[in-house]
Amino acid sequence: MELFYRKYGQGPSLIIVHGLYGSSDNWAGIARALGKHFEVYVVDQRNHGRSPHSSEHNYDLMKNDLYEFVEKHSIGKAIFLGHSMGGKSVMFFAAAHPERVNGLIVVDIAPKSYKLSAAAMKKTIDHETILRSMAEVDFSLVHSRGEVDRALAINIGLERIRLFLMKNLERDEHNGFRWKINIETLMKCLDSILSGMNERDFEQGGEITGFPVLFIKGANSNYILDSDLPLIKTIFPYSEFAVIPGAGHWLHVEQPGLLVETILGFMLD
């Protein structure tokens, strides 16, 4: 699949991969800042942003999309930075193609499956409710962003989440609204999106080494727990960890300056 992308700066290659509901546009400010030191590519993953839609959505496909991307753009090796679902994508890519990785930065996600923890996380981010609420917006009845917001607010109480989701609104050929992301496929494939890496694949010498690895957690987020550290260390035994204060799961929106500082401190040290 040929992914849409934005490009910034010059230097060693760095590829940024957004999370669920995100797009390359959400990372433009971060990319411009990092572009002072790197040649930054920010991709739209399949079923998101301006990349093609597909009836399937899983990490095997998304890691293959990234491989096709580096091949098409003749990128021999790159630093890969992924947030949430994008963090899983770059972890799967690193496991399959470690020879193409100069560094790995995983933002607020662990390699575990989130299927069992989804119920416990519903107080903060309930993906089933989010996707269902987006699907239920009747665009024949709404004529402004405010009306879309009110429709989402029936089930999504946090304004910051609704504002983030509404970055996926675009005008259709009749000047009405529609979602840029492929809601139908994402709903169908939510179990695959919540899935994780198989720890057994990385035991007894199968661990991933050979390049620096950094996991960055939002201090107010529950996506990476202390109980996840053994799994992370099994797969990435030399990984380092950083915490961004005053940020939840969408730390690139809440603390962009601190995130850039943390990334540069790790990669340029």
Residues with a catalytic annotation lie at 84, 184, 249
Q: How far apart are the first and last CA of the chain?
A: 35
Q: 178 by DSSP, 3-state: which? A: strand
CB 162 within 8 A of CB 156: yes
Element containing residue 17 per DSSP (H, E): strand 13-17
Element containing residue 251 per DSSP (H, E): helix 251-254
C-alpha dist (Å) from residue 259 to 97, 107, 157, 237: 26, 9, 26, 23
Distance CA 252, CA 267 (A): 17
Q: Which of 96, 100, 82, 95 is nearest to 223 (CA)?
A: 82
Distance CA 176, CA 55 (A): 24
The answer for residues whose C-beta is within 8 angstroms of residue 126's C-beta and 6 or more apart is: 118
Distance CA 126, CA 181 (A): 17
Distance CA 217, CA 223 (A): 8
